Structure 1
Amino acid sequence: MADLPILRDCLVALTQARILLGRAGQAMPTRALLEFQLDHARARDAVHTALDPAALAAAIGQSCIVVRSRARDRTEYLKRPDLGRLLHAEDISLLTGHGPGTGTGATLAIIVADGLSAAAVHAHAAPLIAAIIERLPDWRIAPLVLALQARVALGDDIGEALVADLSLVLIGERPGLSAPDSLGAYLTWAPRRGRRDSERNCVSNIRPPHGLSYGAAADTIVALMRSASGLRLTGVELKDGMVSLLPPYAG
């Protein structure tokens, strides 16, 4: 029994999950209850905090095109997920003529979307983008797009407008009680409106040091992208056919 505190400390050090909380009578200990309430508040703040496009563009280190979905504000975005998947009609003209251009090599559109956690985007998007671009010297990349009130499928409209072979949507994931800043990456070959979720590949939980590191995430994303370019598809068919080609830590 004397070893239980040591065992608890070892297990807690391995995960942010709520384990071995103990009890005070028939209830949770005060400390555990307060930590739960704090994490819930952080998750709620992550959902409602707005993305700062200027600050994000400065962190990325290049000019970006800022677009919106058809959701007018955060309240409508949360109540109407369908509107978050559609590009605002007034913003289509912002993308016209800004594609990757002509030349050799596959073309890529990178869309950074607020999603359900702007905190995740501000914390992780810039270093992840740098790691991805470093691994793609032979690809032509369109100007970066920052998307507000955006769902994953908004990348289909944007990628189609940019005439890109592949869209990569980096988006803030739904906050958990121990992970309010997790970033997800979604790949879609030949993006266009109407693509199904089964036609995408996802790399999730990008949030070092507690989740996937930038290097590991970039390795996995680029491996998927190169396979997608060769097979001209993404989604379940790509994943099923190229598991052996992924880095060993990709899962």
Structure 2
Amino acid sequence: METDSIMQDPWISLKAFTTARIALGRTGTAVPLEEVLRFRMAHAHARDAVFSTMDIKGLTTQLQALQLPVLVLHSLAADRYEYLQRPDKGRRLDDASIATLSAAGSQAGSDVAIVIADGLSATAVNRHAAPLLQELLLLLRDAGLSLAPACMVQQGRVAVGDEAGALLQARVVLVLIGERPGLSSPDSLGIYLTFQPRPGLTDESRNCISNIRPEGLSYKAAAGKAFYLLQESLRRQLSGVQLKDNERLIE
């Protein structure tokens, strides 16, 4: 199909401001072939992200360079297929992980536990968890907050952080997790904050910071927002719907 046969959409100038699929144009009554191929590629990237795996070795090396001890854990979901079919199993730790955290938590409680879970996009975790933590750890350490060992949970969902945080006797848990891939963002990372984590909590008990990636919310801005919410959570001893974000976004 010749390029001059494609009718341009009048909104085409807005494409410079978003990665959303807008102003695709048309050829006759159909979407142009180039846009069809781009859609199929984006869909393939999203599917690949769902079935990606955490780079345990690489992440461990990066976190140790940040002077953060690491514990490698696993949820009750044995593999990716069970994880996708049984969301409940992704929310709880297996017996070996519970034993590991029980031993670590018995030593001393901490202000903050950091849990890294693959979620629905390990690609996001592999790309963004370490650079985000590099920014966040500076703020946490400057504030004198004590840190539990970082937990990397394979086949984990958001709620797995509640059990991990409780076993570590942490006052607040921060869960870094790969978000559900979109057709323009297969590598979006999220942070979930929960005060006094324990199994059985639901979403209204958590605060969420979403779309962390260079094309979305920057590492520095996300770290600053997480630190603000963390400070407010510890000061007010709550989180979730009762904890409002009243701070201007840090650029």
| TM-score (norm: length of structure 1) | 0.90
Instruction: Describe the SS at the equivalent of 2:103.
Output: coil
Alignment of 1:1-251 (within 5 A): 10-60=13-63, 61=65, 62-99=68-105, 107-137=111-141, 138-208=144-214, 210-239=215-244, 243-244=245-246, 246-248=247-249
- Verify the 8 A CA contact 1:100 1:108 in the aligned structure 2: no
Let me know the Cα RMSD of the aligned residues: 2.0
- Verify the 8 A CA contact 1:152 1:169 in the aligned structure 2: yes
Instruction: Describe the SS at the equivalent of 1:115.
Output: coil
- Verify the 8 A CA contact 2:108 2:169 in the aligned structure 1: no
The number of residues matched between the two structures is 240
Structure 1: tracts of 5 or more residues without a match: none
- Structure 2: distance between partners of 1:6 and 1:173: 31
- Structure 2: distance between partners of 1:100 and 1:14: 51
Superposition deviation, residue 121 in structure 1: 0.3
Deviations 1:171-212 (A, max 9, x none): 00000001000000000000000111101000000011x100
Superposition deviation, residue 101 in structure 1: 5.8
The letter for the 2-side match of 1:238 is: L
- Verify the 8 A CA contact 1:99 1:143 in the aligned structure 2: no
Identity of aligned residues (%): 47
Superposition deviation, residue 76 in structure 1: 0.6
Greater than 2 Å deviation, 4+ residue runs: 4-10, 59-63, 96-103, 247-250
| TM-score (norm: length of structure 2) | 0.90
Instruction: Describe the SS at the equivalent of 1:44.
Output: helix
Instruction: Describe the SS at the equivalent of 2:72.
Output: strand
- Structure 2: distance between partners of 1:48 and 1:180: 11
- Structure 2: distance between partners of 1:178 and 1:110: 28
Instruction: Describe the SS at the equivalent of 1:136.
Output: helix
Superposition deviation, residue 59 in structure 1: 2.3
- Structure 1: distance between partners of 2:250 and 2:134: 20
Quick one: structure 1 residues 236 and 178, their matched pair in 2 at CA, closer, same or farther if it must change by over 3 Å?
A: same
Structure 2: tracts of 5 or more residues without a match: 1-6
- Structure 1: distance between partners of 2:115 and 2:81: 22
- Structure 2: distance between partners of 1:100 and 1:15: 48
